[in-house]
Structures are given as C-alpha cells and as structure tokens.
A and B are shown apart, each in its own frame.
Chain A
Amino acid sequence: MKNIFKTITGLTLPVALLLLLAVPAVQAQIPAPPQEGPVALVGGTVHTMSDGVIQNGTVLFEDGKITAVGTNVDIPSGAEVIDVTGRYVYPGLIHASTTLGLTEIGRLTETVDLNEYGNINPNVRAEVAFHPESEHVPTASVNGITTAVSTPTGGLISGRAAAMMTNGWTWEQMTLRSSVGMMLNWPGMGNTRSRDEALNELQQFIDEARMYQAVKYAAGERNVPRHLHDVRLESMIPVLEGEMPLFIRASELRQIQSAIAWAEKEKLRIVLVGGRDAGYVADQLAEKNIPVILTPVISGPARLWEGYDESYTTPAQLYEAGVEFCIGGESSAAYAFRLSHHAGSAVAFGLPEEEAVKSLTINAARILGIDDLVGSIEVGKDATLIVTNGSPVELWTNVEQVFIQGRQDDMMDKQRRLYEKYKEKQRQAAM
C-alpha cells in the first residue's frame, strides 16, 4: 500500500528553482541549445527497451547521442552528472499517430492544417505545417512524449506523415525524420457504390504512378522524350519502391482484409492505422507480418453484444497472437499527452506492463522506421530520454526530466504556466 501513496515529489529541484525565480516571466518551453558537454544520468533504474532493465545504471550521452549505458560506465571529467537515484529512465515516448502541430483549436478552421483540397494529396508533407509555437507541443513533451508522428488527414491519400521532435525553434530543427509513411484512408465498405468508386480511384492512381515510375526510369534513354513533372505521382515513387510504407487507416474488419489483400496484390508495404477490429483478424495480421498502430484503446465497444472491455483488450489480443503493434492514442493534438493512458488501460485488461511501455517506445520506433534514432536506450541512438517517478503508463506517474537529442527540456508548458500564475493569485488573496 505504501507504494501507492509514494507519489508526488513534484518538479525536480532545478526546474522548481527556475520557476520560483522566474514566475512573472515564465514562458512556455524555451528550447535549449544543442548539447555541449557530456551528461551522465546516474543511479536510476534504466529501462533500455532493447536490453532489459539496469538497476542503479548510468546513461551517458554526448553531442545528442548515447555513448554509454550500464552499471560500469566511465564518466568523463567535466561531464554534468545528474543524480536520478530512485528514479526511472526510459526512452522518450513516441506518439505514432497524432495531429500535433497541425491543429490548435479544432473549432477554429484557421488553426487547422490537416486536410488539403482534393482527394489525392501524396505530395503534401506534414512537417512544413508543423507549428512550433503550438501550445500543445510542450504539453506533450512535459508528459514524456518526445517524438510525435504528425499526420495529415482527409481524402483518400492525405499526404506524408513526419516524425517530429517535441522541442525546438523551427520545424526544420524539430523534424526527426520526414515522410515516415504515406497516409491512406481505406474506404468504408458498407456502401458498395462509394466503396467501389473510391477503390477504383485508388487503383487508377497507383497504376498511373507505376506508369510515371516507368517513364522516370527510362529518362535519358535513347528516343525517350522529356516528360512533364507531376508532383503527386513523383511522391508515390518511394512507396512503389518499398522505401516508404503506406499507413492505411482502417477500423472495420472488411476494410482491414480488403486493404491487406490489395497491398499484397500491389506488393506494397503497409502499416495498419486504427485497427478497431484488428483483434478479429489477429492471426492473419501476424501471419502476413502486418504491423498495427492501434488508435485509440480507451473506447467503447463497437457492437452492443461485445464485452464492455472489447477495446481495452485488443492490445492483449494482438500481443498474444504475435502481431507487431504499437499504441497510438487519440489523434487530437490537444490530447496527444493522453498517449500513456491508452497503454495503461491495456495493462488493466491483460497486456503486460513492459509490453505496454514497448508499445510506446521501441515497437513504435520499429513500425515507424525510426528505431535507428529513438525507441530504446542504446549506444549510438539519440539521447532522447525521460526520467520518471514510476511506470510511464501509470496515470499518476510524473515525468520529471525530458531530454531530446541531449537537450534538456525546461518542463514548462501553457498549463503549468497558468497553474503558476493562479497559484500566485491565491497567494496574494491569502495575504
């Protein structure tokens, strides 16, 4: 019982001091400069996600990269040593499917950059519209989300998703990796007419992209005239070549099966996004090695007869069937920070806690193709880490420190700023 009440230690001392000193001037998240000297986090329990848990471990990083992990690490002189005894070190959390940076207030269309005109927009890139000033970005980062895959939505092909860091001055600096996936919304299967129209449109577009690809390969050959450019078709080439996966949004089981069959026929690499009914076709997903970004987990059952916990148990079902999956939470930018709640609810209904954390770190990184940079605490990867006072998927756990490529977050967001401000109002009233 005692553990349960060992909860809030609040903010770490340096941050708390910073707040005390700077109350009137506190702003939301001021990005730190690139890491200068080496930093060592010592004394914590390190959850590497790739190589088990290290008690009383040290994580050393330099120039934004992890240089050493273990219990027996030589700390270079001049390194900044941060004692995290009694704390836990995890890789930063990855939100695999969000609209962070692309929207601010849903009702204000002026603040929404999600859905480009037209039905087929493979050329548009999320990162260029990522608003570094969005108040939701620091809120995500202080809650431990260091990487957010921002996705365009709408139409048939919505555009390209980008893996963004949640701290930085400009979108350029904040882009961890561009074009991690091509967003495709699989048509609803209930209305056969609109389904067929959409599927025909998709097929025709893929066929055209292949024609464009052939022309491209033939460029420069004898007797081949110059062809005019087409930005839409051009941007499909990495998809056709298997470099960029299609992120196919599909929830209902007919959609999922239709998408799988189509991708097999077209020999395209896909990742399933959504996957409400994925539990019903888990064996097929496992057999065909189709990864799933599950969104959201906290949700009601789709059918009256289903158990009340149908959605909560889907991650455990996928895990037991051997499906590669990660948990994506809600797409709303304002609620990106709720990511860990979705993984935590899956734990309540049967997913091992360690797997829940993996679903927000290394598994997400692998599915997104960014595991060379983030997702685990390994030498050579980005020093993108969080320090917590408990499991990152427990509701009451506080993320105390956040490092993104070695740069320490100031742990300030709009919510904390308003908190400090009105704490001051109460203080004045009490005087």
Chain B
Amino acid sequence: MLKTLISLVVVSFMFIHNLNSQTAQVVGVRENTPAVFALTNVTMVAEPGNVVNNATIVIRDGIIEEAGRRVSPPADATVIDLEGKTVYPGFIDMYSEIGMPDLGSPPGVQTLTGVPEEYLEMIQGIMRTQVTDEVGRAAVHWNPQVRSFYRSAAVFQPDNNAAAELRSQGIVMAHIVPKHGIFRGYSTVASLGDDDANMLLAKKDVAQVLSFSRSRELGGRYPTSLMGVVALMRQSFYDADWYKSAHEAYRNQTGIPQPELNISLASLSDAVGEGTPFVADAADEIGFLRAYDLSKEFSLDMWVLGSGDEYKRIDAISRTNLPVIVPLDFRQAPSVEKPEDAMNTSLSQLRDWYLEPENPARLVQSGVPVTFTATGLRNKGDFLNHLRVAVKRGLNEEDALRALTVTPATMLGVDNKYGTIAEGKAASLVIADGNIFADNTSVYQVWVDGKRYVIKDDKDARGEYTVKNGDVLRNAVLEIKGTPSRLSGTISIGEESADLSSVRFDNERISFRFKGDDLGLTGNVRLSANLSEGEMIGIGEKGDGTFFNWTAIKTADPEAETEREARERPSLALDPLYPSVDYGIRRTPDQPRYVLVQNATIWTQGPQGRMESADLLVREGKIEEVGRNISAPRGAVVVDGTGMHVTPGLIDPHLHSSIAGGVNETGYNMTAEVRIQDVIHPNTVWMYRLLAGGLTTAKLFHGSANPVGGQDAVIKMRWGGLPEDVLVEDATPGLKLAMGENVVRRPDQYPNTRMGVEEIMRDAFLAAREYEKQWNDWESNGNGIPPRRDLQLEALLEVLNGERKTHVHAYRQDEMLLMMRLAEEFGFTVGTFEHALEGYKIADELREHGAIPVVWSDWHSFKVESYDGILHNAKLLIDAGVVTSLHSDNTQIATRMNWEAGKVIRSGVSHEDALDLITKNPAIALGIDHRVGTLESGKDADFVIWNGNPMSAFSIAKQTWVDGRKYFDREEDSRKREEVQEERMKLIEYLLENRN
C-alpha cells in the first residue's frame, strides 16, 4: 500500500515540474501536490567521516529541513522507511558535456582543381572554412577556436537519457563544459534531474574552459599543432589584456580611433579580471605541467582535467597545487594471450594499464585536491566499478566521497547548497543498499533537488509460494529462484516436481510454464499472475486448453544470496619509473663529487688535441682537468679507460624527437610565435637510445613546412627528467626559417616560388622593425591606443636585434645566398643553414658571412633540390675554413652520429675534424660552446667512453655521462633489459591470472 502511494506521489511530483518554470503562465487548474518526506531508519553519511546510524532526513520542498538521529518525521510528511539503506550526499561530475549542443560536421571541401594529388589531402585538412553556428558573423575572434564568449548556461538542453545514466551511478549534479574550441567559453553547473533547464541550472558562468586540442568542427586553418595551440592561448591572453587597456584608452581620450570590438576578447578579459577559474585538459602528466605553466604566466586559477597519468610525476604535479579532475575511464587491458601479441606489448602499455587505478589514491596521498568525472567512459555504468577499483587500490573511502561531493561543491561555489547532507541544503542524495564503495552494493535511489528517482527496483519475485486455491494446482509449492534478471524455479505437487521455464517478472506480472505430464497434468501448463505484497493472483491454461484461476501466497523468503566473493588480487608493488616506460629509471643518476677516467685516449677537441694515455678529472658535474697522471682525489669514482677512447658528448643540432603534438605548425606561412619549449616531451624511450649512442645534447626543431617556422629548444639527454629539467636554458634561442621546395608547395598561399620566399621574409622583417618603432613611440609619449604585444613579431625582432639565431632550412646555393644577402640588408648574421646540401658550392661565401652549414654526411637525391648532395660537402666546407656541423634530422641517425662522422673521412677529412662535426662545431652552432662541445676545464662533464676509435664502424659507446652523471652504461644496459623483461612478464602473468 505504501509503495503504491509513493509511486503515485512521484508521478504527480514530476507533473508539477514539467511545467516550464515558476514564472510560466498556468494552463488549466493549479496543481500543488505537497512535497514533504521523511526518510527514516537510514545510515546517513552526512559528509566524509560523519556517519549517523538510524537517522531521519526530513525533506520539504526540495530542501533538507532536518537530518539526524533524534529527528521525528513531521506530521505532514510522507514517511519512507529505508531500513538497511545508506544515504550519501549526491555525487558531482566535475567535467561533463551533458546537454551541450553539437555543431554538426564541417562543411564539404570545395573542389580544388589543378592541385597535385599528393597535396590535396594536406589542403583538405586546412581549407575547411569556418562553420557558421549560432554566433554567425558576430564580432568574434578572428580564430574560430577562440570562443570565450560562449556561455553553456545559455545553450544547455537537458538530456534526461544521459542524465539517467549518470544518476544510476549516484551522480546528481554536473559541472557542464562547452564542447568546442580551444577557448571553449563558460561552463555551468546543473542538477541532473528531468526538469527544464530553468529548474536544473544551479550556477552559470562558473569557469572558462580551455582545451589543448583544436575542434575540427569549428574549422579554421590554425593551429594545426600543439605548440600552435599554446601560442594561440598565450597570444589570446595577451590580446585580452591589450583589449582592456585599448578600450580604456579609447574611453578616456578623444581623437583616437575605436579599437576593434571583439566579444571573445572582452569575455576573456572579464574572466581574467574577475578571477574566474580556468579549466584545461591535459593529455598526460606532461600536459598537466603545460597547463600549469600557462596558469603561472597569466596568474590563472587553474583546474586540470587529468589523464590518469598524474601519478607518473606525482611530486611535480603536487607542487603545482592545482586541483585535478580525474576521469574514471581506466585503460583497457592490452591483449597478451598470443605470444606475438604479448611481444608487441610494451612495458609502458602494461604499466599504464596496471597503475592507472592507483592514480586517485596517489594524488590524494600527495595532497592534490581530487574530483572525478565520468567523461570518457563509454559505458557510464562503469563509473562506480572503477571508483571501487580505485578504492581497492588505496583510495581511502572518505577521500573518495570527498572527491565526489565536498571538493567539487566547494570548487564550483555551490557548497552552501550541495555537497553534504545538512539542514538547509538541497535534497540531492544517493541512497544505496549498503556501503557504496563495496563491490555488491547497488544504487537504490537518487534524489535530485528533492525529487526521487528509483534506480533499482526492489521488487523481487524470488521466494517460496504455496498455492492456496484453484482446483488444478491446489497445495502446489512454487519456488522462484535465480537472479533478478535470470529467474528460474520449480513447482512441486506432493512428491513430484517439475522445472519452470520462461520465468519472467516485469512490473508486477510474473509468468512461467512447465511440462505438466510428470505432475499428472496435460501438456505445457502456462501460468501468469499479478505479484504484489507477496501474493500471486493468477490464471493458467493446460495443454488441452483448460483455463483456470489460482492464487498463491509467499510462504518463505528467498535464501540469502551468497556474496559474490571478490577475489583478492595480489599487489605487484611496481617501482616508479621516470619516465614510466621501458628503460625508465628509478632515480636520477648520482653526480659523484669527483670522477676520474684514467689511461684513455682522450679526444678533447680543444687546444689539448687528442691525448694518448690521458686522464679526465670531473668535479661536481664540470670538467676539472684533462692531463696525464692525475691522482685520484679522495672518494673519486675511478673508471679504468685502458684501451678506451673518450670524447665530448655528441651533439645533434637538428632533431625532431621528444616533441608532443606535431613538429610543424602548418596553419600559416609565418608562425614565429610557436615554441618547441612548450611541447618538449621527454618520455620517449628514444632518449635512452640516444644516450646509448653517445648523444648528450640536441636542438629540437620546428619543421620546414613554412618560411617562418617556430622557436626551437636545446635539450640535454637527462633521461628521466621533466621538460624543465632537460631544457638548456642558456642556449642562444633560435628561430626556424625555411626555403625551397617544402615552403612553396601550397598553391593556396604565398609563396609559390623561391622569389616569393625572399619577399615574404623581407616583408616580415620590415614589419618587425615597424613593430619596434610602434612600441618605442608609445613608450616615449604614452598617448593613444597602446600597441598590442605580438608574439610573432617579437620573435622576428629578436632576430633583427641579434638576440635570436636564425636556423634556415635550405638546400640550394642560390637560396642560401639570397638569405645571407637579405640578412645583411637587415643587419644580422644567419645562424645556420640546415641541411645545406649545396653548401660546398658557396663555401667561401658562407665563411665570409659567418653562417654555419649544418649538413648530412651523405644524404642526397630524395628530392630534386637534393640531387647535388655529395659526400664531400663537409670536406669542401672544412677546406674553405667554414665552421661546419653534421646533424641527423632523424632520431635513429641521432643514435649513431659517430658513424655519420666516420663516413665523411672517406672524402678526405681527418678523424679529429670529423669528430668536430658532431661535438665542437654543433656547440658553436647552437650557442652552447661555453658549456659543451669540447673537453676543457670548466665545461660541463658531458662525455662518452668508447671501446675503440669512435669514428670506426666497429666501435660502440660503453658509457655516456651528462653533467658528471652516468646516464648510460653498456653493462648496466644488459641488466636493464632483464629488468624490463622481468617486469613485463610479471605484468603479463598478472593480467592473464586476473583478467577482468
């Protein structure tokens, strides 16, 4: 009777709130169903750590009126007895796209004629025109990805199906973020009931949402790379700042033109000014730190949507003090059943799969504020399952609850209404049939703002029933058993019994059949009944068509379910690895106070030349001395170099490894604003392989897709380090420029010829000079609209002022010559020519200008402009007195630069000159020769110990040292391989034993 009443209440309650809103016109008679409830006999978890047994919660008009042990239901309340149930504050999803509209797919690409097929694909990727969505041609940002003006509260469309999925996991409220763009606009907070937006929205314009990935649906051609995204973000924040001051100047002064109106920049400027939090997504733990860098540069209150990888750099991440929103979409287990599949599964894949569930615990233990989201889960029903896995893997239950309730409510600024069960707060609750963090617990109901949603029907047909009347089945005993979704049963009359088949129970109607023959009945006997309050009121039909009535009452409850035993999984206790991949290291190698390498052939590449039977002394990461018979200081680490050769650490001045999110920003022909330093990704095993080949330093370059590419970064192979650790901060900054075939390929943009290449560069440098003048003028008189900080022109201006080296991708002599003359016109010196296949044709001109050709040993003929590449390139350049460097432009080649140098000896270069090409000279080219490149007193102790002449095909690196730390050792390497294998096998065994 009570249950019937409740369902009636719910139906009418729903009806009231299906009216548009409180301000809507009433149609028909008014309906004012009372909404006063008392939930009694509950175990109430009012907030993390506060559990009240036998509590009563009184809810009046959606608000908790009273909650506690000594509360009596008021006289007007409908009492709901929840004996055995546990009530929690409703959960909050911190990053949801629920109810956010789609933009639809991008418009078709216009037919391009006369375009070579190989370029068509590239063009199709960038020619998508801007989609006209609801903003149409408003005064928006020039880049369609910048949508800071967008307000999700204004477009939120309740989606009850999606909400129901979340409610089934106890989630009653969501922080809702817009779906599109790099600057996505304002988020909102809404309850996840089935009302209209008017009733569900709890708070608007909560945070500004950023994404490090571009939305293709929005179109636009820029940015195409992660570094371009960062550059666009930075420029937009600077522009927002400028926007504010420009409009202030316009308001306060007369006689100046109006600065542009731009709703994106206006919103961005407001958000920054008002201290609105920003939410950014991180693709991995390095992405997290990237978001942090952005927050520092612009003093943003930043929240980060995590990736599940945060544990990999937990120290660095906890130091940021940024809260993290952890998605519970744990990775799937890799397939390792077949040996060939297992062979193709790396340690990093296995570790990622195994360790991700520990991430929430590790974050909490490190003091990071944690919240959760179901975003990313294909099946939202896994949210609680994954949460429980996280609890098994160390997450304290109270902390888990806090991450689901109090922490998000506080961050969202709704903690006075949500997040705990307390007087005056909204009745948004989760009711479970036990501890919600235990495996077999189900969510029974959720309440959203005082409205009840039944998640699990507690109607259960199972039990023993005895037929009370009816001639046919009198005194028969029915036993209904099985699971709620797969029922089975038996019927017994006297000694005989038969199995029931097709047992169904749906909305109080139960039906089944059995073979009657054994029970003295004819054929298939089919039965159905209304089952309510333990009584079946039924009908039946025998195989001969005889129709009959029957009733039965419950005479015994079902046998208690045996709890599914959760198998305890052993813990593998894996050590952290930095990075968490194959060959990652447990800790940074020690830097001994002294290291002495004795009795080796030492190629200093400095004034001391090559010394036989010599010693190298290192002190605290710096070279102390190269000489003979150096005595070992007390406690020195002594390495016997007998028969060995020691060289400076090898330097590759042109590498594209360890870069996240694309090497080229191809969006425009001029992208000096993009920076490799924003996207250094030192997590690839290649860094270890580079060390194994003796490489200690490299310049990471932007590609050569556009005439003005991006800013580069010099790194040292400090394996296991973070981007900030590997960066060489005092290297001369550089800018990649490019000429020749690569940059003239796009028929849709300037330049199409080598003539155009010169002009677009001249134009850019002229603009940079004017930019400088604009600033100088404004700084001297301070009147008018302040100039806008332009990151692109700034980088070009640094080139003109000699503060930034140019690294010019060029193959042919004509283009190198024109670049040198152009540089001379603007008063700067070209830093390097990258590749410079025809450098040998203008060796004297290069020397006179002072540009350094950075060449390959023997590449040629892979495209037309490389047809004249010759092995003797370096030889002719060296003969003409040009400082020349080799480079790899290829990660595998960079692992064996000594062999590249060895090759050029065939053309007549001496061994020492050949080694200069990969040590001393690239150091000069990168502006780091004050630190590295030679073995001289005071320089960094970056050196390699070889088992023979390093220029020989038959020699390999035995040890590689960076900053006086041994990062590679051939002997340790074989042990490392065993460790990698052992750990892989341990994880594979575990996976096979504990498959989900």
Contacts and interface: CB of A to CB of B under 8 A. Distances in A.
A136 interface: yes
Interface in B861-894: 861-864, 867-868, 870-872, 875-876, 879-880, 891-892
B346 A396 contact: no
Interface string A84-115: 00000000000000000000111110000000
A299 B892 contact: yes
Instruction: Name which of A305, A347, A348 has the most chain B CB atoms within 10 A of its CB.
Output: A305
A107 B862 contact: yes
Interface in B107-122: none
A345 B861 contact: no
Contacts of B335: none
A335 B841 CA distance: 22
Nearest to A428: B844
Contacts of A415: 860, 870-872
A307 B953 CA distance: 19
B867 A105 contact: yes
B876 A395 contact: no
B344 interface: yes
B908 A10 contact: yes
A8 B905 contact: yes
A419 B872 contact: yes
A29 B91 CA distance: 80
Interface in B890-933: 891-892, 895-896, 899, 902-903, 905-908, 910-911
Contacts of A344: 953-954
Contact of B906 (A135, A335, A349, A397): A397
B156 to A, nearest CB: 43
B346 A303 contact: yes
Interface string B972-996: 0110010011001000000000000
A345 B907 contact: no
A305 B980 contact: yes
A308 B346 contact: no
A49 to B, nearest CB: 19
A426 interface: yes
B949 interface: yes
A426 B689 CA distance: 40
A253 interface: yes
A349 B911 contact: no
Nearest to B693: A308
Contacts of B692: 308-309
Interface in A316-350: 332-335, 337-338, 341, 344-345, 347-349
A393 interface: yes
Given A107-B863, A304-B581, A305-B980, A394 B840 contact: no
A18 interface: no
Given A107-B864, A419-B876, A307 B973 contact: yes
B970 to A, nearest CB: 9
Given A106-B863, A334-B860, A338-B858, A395 B875 contact: no
A104 B612 contact: no
A419 B903 contact: no
A105 B864 contact: yes
B906 A305 contact: no
A395 B951 contact: yes
B744 to A, nearest CB: 14
A300 interface: yes
A308 B870 contact: no
Contacts of B907: 419
- Give the interface SS of chain A, mostly helix, strand, loop or mixed: loop
B670 to A, nearest CB: 25
B864 A7 contact: no
B844 A4 contact: no
A422 B951 contact: no
Contacts of A416: 872
A299 B910 CA distance: 27
Contacts of A334: 860-862
A300 B867 CA distance: 27
A334 B837 CA distance: 15
B905 A396 contact: yes
A418 B891 CA distance: 29
Nearest to A302: B344
Instruction: Name which of A105, A307, A395, A397 has the most chain B CB atoms within 10 A of its CB.
Output: A395
A305 B879 CA distance: 44
B638 to A, nearest CB: 23
Contact of B346 (A107, A304, A395): A304
A422 B872 CA distance: 10
A305 B347 contact: yes
Nearest to A351: B954
Contacts, number: 145
A254 B338 CA distance: 11
Contact of A422 (B582, B843, B861, B910): B843
Interface in A401-427: 414-416, 418-419, 422-423, 425-426
A213 B72 CA distance: 99
A353 interface: yes
A423 B840 CA distance: 9
A136 B861 contact: yes
Instruction: Name which of B685, B861, B952 has the most chain A CB atoms within 10 A of its CB.
Output: B861
Contact of B952 (A4, A107, A135, A423): A4
A419 B864 CA distance: 19
A7 B980 contact: no
A422 B981 contact: no
Interface string A228-250: 00000000000000000000000
B875 A106 contact: no
Contacts of B343: 253, 303
Contacts of A332: 862
B799 interface: no
Contacts of A224: none
B899 A426 contact: no
Contacts of A396: 902, 905-906, 911, 951-952
Interface in B930-978: 949, 951-956, 973-974, 977
Contacts of A338: 858
A104 B902 contact: no
Nearest to B350: A305
Contacts of B895: 300, 308
Contacts of B601: 1
B490 interface: no
A351 to B, nearest CB: 10
A394 B954 contact: yes
Contacts of A353: 954
Contacts of B980: 305
B937 to A, nearest CB: 24
A354 to B, nearest CB: 13
B953 A395 contact: yes
B905 A304 contact: no
B953 A341 contact: yes
A305 B984 contact: yes
Nearest to A423: B876
B578 interface: no
Given A344-B954, A418-B870, A303 B861 contact: no
A414 to B, nearest CB: 8
A308 B581 CA distance: 14
Given A105-B867, A136-B861, A348 B954 contact: yes
Given A5-B911, A304-B582, A348-B954, 4 more contacts: A104-B861, A107-B864, A419-B907, A422-B840
28 contacts: A1-B612, A7-B905, A8-B905, A104-B861, A105-B864, A107-B864, A108-B864, A253-B343, A298-B896, A300-B895, A301-B689, A304-B581, A304-B582, A304-B685, A305-B981, A309-B692, A334-B861, A337-B858, A347-B953, A347-B954, A348-B954, A418-B840, A419-B875, A422-B843, A422-B876, A423-B879, A425-B841, A426-B879
Interface of A: 1, 4-5, 7-8, 10, 104-108, 135-136, 253-254, 298-301, 303-305, 307-309, 332-335, 337-338, 341, 344-345, 347-349, 353, 393-398, 414-416, 418-419, 422-423, 425-426, 429
Closest 5 CB pairs of A and B: A344-B953, A395-B902, A304-B346, A396-B905, A334-B861
